[in-house]
Copies of this chain bind each other. A is one copy, B any other.
Amino acid sequence: MSKGRSKRVSLKDIANKLGVSTALVSYVLNGQEKEKRVGAEIVIKIRQALEEMNYVPNHIARSLRNGKTQTIGLIVTDIANPFFSSMARCIEDEAGKKGYTVIIGSSDENCNKSRRLVDTMLNRQVDGFIIVPADGCYDYATLIVNEGFPLVMVDRYIPELSTNYVVLDNFGASYDAVNYLISRGYKKIGMVAYKTNLIHMKERIRGYTEAVKNAGLGKRIWEIRYDHQKDDIKKMTQQFQDKNNVKNVDALFFATNTLTMAGLYRVNELKLQVPEEVAVIGFDGNEAFDFYSAPLTYVKQPGNEMGKEAIRILVEQIEGSGKISHISLAHQLILRNSC
């Protein structure tokens, strides 16, 4: 077992050994022996040598020459968030099958971080991007598109920017969840959302609004600030508990995974019984939901499918087909005991 990095065999090594030019070896390597009309017996010899000498193409050299790196940049809100980590897992697996490698970054919904991540990835010359765009900072996404890089947005999209996206049918999911609460007899239904201009949140709010309006019920919405989550959630719980407050509720619909968790922690602190004192519908499956005192009814997003579609579309774009895809996927309402 000798230590030290052994030098890899290059195309030239193969060519020299066989006394042919590197061009021929390259053609065979890339399956162009037909188009380039390489002699039949020489093809065989080259294949053998490639095999015997254990040749592995130098990816970097190829990238420099081709301007393609077979690498994809993925920017999510936070890879430690289970919704995104399982989506990432799925994207990596699918990308791998197609010969692509993924580099991941977490933006924390922050413009500067997003920008920096895009710069790094651009610098690394990724072939395309899958991005969960953060609120209010679309310059980098626009840049990506204007520079001609393939981009697929997931989870949310930027309406002004004409490019691909794969999202949940957010309106439908929210509408359905709230209607379910209505069908269960709840009259004072509140929604806990994020304060943001992002379309997915607007859509979820629209679904809620439409549903309560159709049922002739009052609207009770809290828009939590992403970076003052704790304070705003606290204020929210004070209001919804107060029988005299217009925002007093008998049921709560949470608009995301994180909000659901934050809300439940608070509900637990206050020792409120779910669903007796307040009914709950959550967003995104999550093991914690299963173990909640009343296993949570929730809106299940098809995270894996979202990832799969995103990578499929992106690779299509990278490798040719120009047409833009807008995909919106259906949710599933998982019924359990929290309402």
Contact = CB atoms under 8 A, between A and B. Distances in A.
Interface in A243-297: 261, 264-265, 268, 286-293
Contacts of A210: none
Contact of A290 (B61, B149, B288, B290): B288
Interface in A113-129: 120, 123-125
A225 interface: no
Nearest to A145: B3
Given A80-B85, A96-B120, A103-B101, A2 B64 contact: no
Contacts of A2: 146
A317 B328 CA distance: 47
A323 interface: no
A79 B69 contact: no
Contact of A79 (B88, B105, B287): B88
Q: Which 9 A-B pairs have the closest CB atoms?
A: A85-B85, A287-B288, A288-B288, A80-B86, A80-B89, A5-B148, A291-B292, A60-B64, A288-B291
Interface of A: 1-6, 56-61, 63-64, 69, 78-80, 82, 85-86, 88-89, 92-93, 96, 101-106, 120, 123-125, 146-149, 261, 264-265, 268, 286-293
Given A2-B146, A80-B85, 10 more contacts: A6-B147, A60-B125, A79-B79, A79-B89, A80-B88, A82-B85, A88-B104, A96-B120, A102-B104, A265-B290
